[in-house]
Amino acid sequence: MSTRKSLLLVALLSFAASAFCNVYEVSTVPDPKVTCADCWVSNPDGIVSTDCVDQINFVAQYLKNNVNVEMAYVVIDAFDEDKYADAFDFAQTLFNTWHIGSAENNAGVLVLFALQSRDIRIHTGGGLEGLLPDMECDMILEDNIGYLSEGDYDKGLYGIATDIASHLVTDEAQAELLLGYKPESTEPIKSRTRYMIIAILAFVLLYVLAYRKWNANKDESRAKLLEDTSTTQTAMGCLSFLFPFPVLFLYLYFRIKRSNLRNVPYPCPKCRTDMKKLSDTDEIVYLSPAEQTEQKLESQIYDVWLCPKCGEVHREIYPGKKMKHYSTCHTCGARALEFISVRTIKQATYTSEGEKELTFKCHHCGKEEVTHRIIPMLVHSSSSSSGGGYGRSSGGSSGGSWGGGSSFGGGAGRKF
């Protein structure tokens, strides 16, 4: 065979070899965590038997459950050698892309097997460098590399898994791994800034709202002003739980301002002098008997302002504390009608409406008022609204995810 022919043959053979071999990038390696929560082996090319995968999964799951270590296996034909300098580069990138190892102890380990380049590498995460130093990883490889060289990949890779596990289940290892470790987080600073910005914005918004409501009806009655601003005050009260600073100050300020409103002197409409508020006993002269009753019942509160200079009188009516207990009497017009009793005239049934009689009594004129009300028809209550239907199926193949570990480049690799 001439040199040219043999060269051609070599080229053809290598082409054929590359055509039948799957070349992976980090992003194209199937992630076992996507398949199921307790899968740890990525074996897309079927290099190891399913029995072996099950056995390694069992060891890995044992490690996860007992010492919180995540052990990943990636068994592939080849990695893209144009993109990754060597097995170390590929393993390091894969490790930090998947984030193998739980966030608490950063204890993850990746075993990478690439058939074409004959690479076997144990890649350790930052939290395992103490328990699995490079030298130990190299020893583990040393002990199992014989099987790999002979082509008994099942035995070699399972042996590596059990050897790794044996380093991690000792009492000291367990103590170290379960102690935990928490990486520093930068989150609080950012969220604090956001919180402060929202708090200040909330403050400004509430202030502007209060300002507008307060000044919108300056010339109308104070009672109406208080009524209009009560929702604003409630809003401030609620938000001051979220933002004690500065909304709580605004809330307190606004509350005091509102409760003081009754006592702010009125300017006399005629001579602009500050009017004086009369005490409860002095103002009786200016109130009708009905109004006096209301004042006594606290259904309405009357403030009477008197100008000391020209004798001008101004009256202001506020809702009383017990306003809701009373309604307006149809005879005398005073808000002094109180509910006394209720009597059922006709019981409601499933087929017809019922009727009841309500009795009210006016505290001012003493007259009784009787009203009739309809009792709604009874309705059959249905005990369970959902008749049939299917329960939500749980279980099945719900995937999991890696814990969030990172590697600083620990581990050891060999050619077999």
Partner 1 sequence: MKKNTLTTVIVIAALALIAVWMVGRYNTMVTEQENVETAWGQVENQYQRRMDLVNQLVGSVEGMAIHETQYMTDVISARAKATQVTVDPSNMTAEQLKAFQEAQGELSQALGRLLVSVEQYPELKADEHFMKLMTAIEGSENRLSVARNTFNEQAKVYNTYIRKFPNNIIASIFGFEKRPYFEADEAAKTAPKVDFKSLKN
**Residue from the set 210, 247, 275, 337 that interacts with partner 1 by CB under 8 A:** 210
Stretch that binds partner 1, among 71-79, 320-328, 355-363, 405-413 (CB under 8 A): 405-413
DSSP conformation letters of 65-84: HHH--EEEEEEESEE-TTTS
What three-state secondary structure class fits 152?
Answer: coil
Q: Are 289 and 364 in contact (CB under 8 A)?
A: yes
- Least CB distance from residue 306 to partner 1, whole Å? 27
114 binds partner 1 (CB under 8 A): no
Q: Which stretch binds partner 1 (CB under 8 A): 99-107, 211-219, 304-312, 396-404?
A: 211-219
Binding status of residue 30 toward partner 1 by CB under 8 A:
no
Give yes or no for residue 276 binding partner 1 (CB under 8 A). Answer: no
* Per CB under 8 A, 186 contacts partner 1: yes
Site membership for partner 1, residue 257 (CB under 8 A): yes
181 interacts with partner 1 by CB under 8 A: no
240 scored as a contact of partner 1 (CB under 8 A): no
The helix (H) or strand (E) run that includes residue 155 is: helix 153-168
Q: Is 407 in the site for partner 1 (CB under 8 A)?
A: yes
Q: How many whole angstroms separate alpha carbon 226 and alpha carbon 239? A: 20
**Footprint of partner 1 on 137-166 (CB under 8 A):** 138
* Rounded least distance, CB 133 to partner 1, Å: 8
Least distance in Å: CB of 122 to partner 1?
11
Give the H or E element holding residue 345.
strand 335-346
The identity of residue 110, as a single letter, is L
215 near partner 1, judged by CB under 8 A:
yes
From 65, 71, 62, 66, select the one nearest 41 (Cα to Cα).
71
Q: What is the phi/psi pair of residue 362, to 5°?
A: -90, 130
19 binds partner 1 (CB under 8 A): no
Judged by CB, which is closer to partner 1: 12, or 205?
205
Q: CB nearer to partner 1: give 188 or 311.
A: 188
Element (H, E) at 313: strand 313-319
User: Dihedral of the CA atoms 91, 71, 45, 413 (nearest 10)?
Assistant: 40
**According to the binding rule CB under 8 A, does residue 81 interact with partner 1?**
no
| Binding residue (CB under 8 A) for partner 1 from 36, 47, 81, 207 | 207
C-alpha–C-alpha distance, residues 169 and 291, integer Å: 87
Is there binding between residue 204 and partner 1 (CB under 8 A)?
Answer: yes
- Closest to partner 1 by CB, 15 vs 211, is 211
What are the phi and psi torsion angles at 341 (to 5°)?
-150, 165
- Name the one range near partner 1 by CB under 8 A: 203-211, 270-278, 296-304, 380-388: 203-211
- Asked if 263 touches partner 1 (CB under 8 A), the answer is no
Q: How many helices (H) and strands (E) does the chain have?
A: 11, 14
Q: What single-letter amino acid sits at 76?
A: I
- Whole-angstrom CA distances from 344 to 94, 325, 327, 348, 374 are 79, 22, 22, 9, 10
Sheet holding 276-277, edge to edge: 276-277, 300-306, 313-319
In terms of Cβ atoms closer than 10 Å to its own Cβ (0-12, 13-18, 19+), residue 264 is exposed
Question: What minimum distance in Å lies between the beta carbon of 13 and partner 1?
Answer: 24
Tokens coding 337: 């009608």
Can residue 88 be called a binding residue for partner 1 (CB under 8 A)? yes
Q: Which of 394, 337, 322, 407 is nearest to 110 (CA)?
A: 407
* Candidate ranges 43-51, 185-193, 230-238, 287-295; the one touching partner 1 (CB under 8 A): 185-193
Nearer to partner 1, 255 or 321 (CB): 255
Question: Going by C-beta distance under 8 Å and a sequence separation of 6 or more, which residues neighbour residue 12?
Answer: none
The residue range among 102-110, 134-142, 294-302, 381-389 that interacts with partner 1, by the rule CB under 8 A, is 134-142
- Contacts with partner 1, residue ranges (CB under 8 A): 88, 92, 134-135, 138, 186, 189-190, 192-194, 196-197, 200-201, 203-204, 207-208, 210-211, 214-215, 257, 407-415
